[in-house]
Amino acid sequence: MQEGEEKEPRAPVVRFSEFLGMGYFGDERQDVVAPIFDSRRNAEKGWSRVMEMHGETPPAFHAAFVEHPAKYEFIAYPLSMNPAQINYVIYRSFSSLASLRKFKETHDGRTFIKFGWQDITKPQKFDVLAQYALVDAVEFLTVQDVKPGTMVDRIRKNEL
């Protein structure tokens, strides 16, 4: 195995992208990355599908934002995978770079993933579930920075 390559997961891995967009918020102590659904019910169903299979404690994730000239991809995958079950990675491609750039400028410190939903009557506001998953690190990459064969590369190409 070459440096920068990650061991092939022996567990089944599936991309989860059944959400509308991403929300970002935080303060000087923490940042939150939130896949946004169209309703609380769908956010809860998504959380249950992706996180609760890991038991009482959701897994720690690694997150990467891959920037292209006119879009970006959000990728988050569990640091440890269970070979006895389906392991979900969170993936979505977005055409708006404005929110990514704002998050990138303000990102500093601990990061969590929370699933949220948007109230269609308040387009600039979203709510999040109480449950969260810890993110070990957030990478901001250009598409040229992604090394072939890494987990980020395989998720981007859906080669899982």
pLDDT tens string 98-128: 878 888 888 877 899 999 998 777 767 889 9
CA distance 2 to 36: 37
With CA atoms as reference, report the closest residue to 136 among 24, 33, 27.
33
Q: Residue 7 — very low, low, confident or very high, per pLDDT cuts 50/70/90?
A: low
DSSP structure string for 11-52: S-EEEE--SSEEEEEE-SSEEEEEEEESSHHHHHHHHHHHTG
The pLDDT value given to residue 4 = 47
With CA atoms as reference, report the closest residue to 58 among 21, 27, 90, 28.
90
pLDDT tens string 44-79: 999 998 886 667 777 899 999 999 998 999 999 999
Q: Tokens 């879009």 identify what position? A: 71
28: tokens are 């000087």
For the chain, give every domain's residue range: 13-156
The pLDDT value given to residue 79 = 92
With CA atoms as reference, report the closest residue to 35 among 26, 24, 51.
24
- Over residues 90-102, mean pLDDT: 86
With CA atoms as reference, report the closest residue to 49 among 85, 83, 84, 73.
85
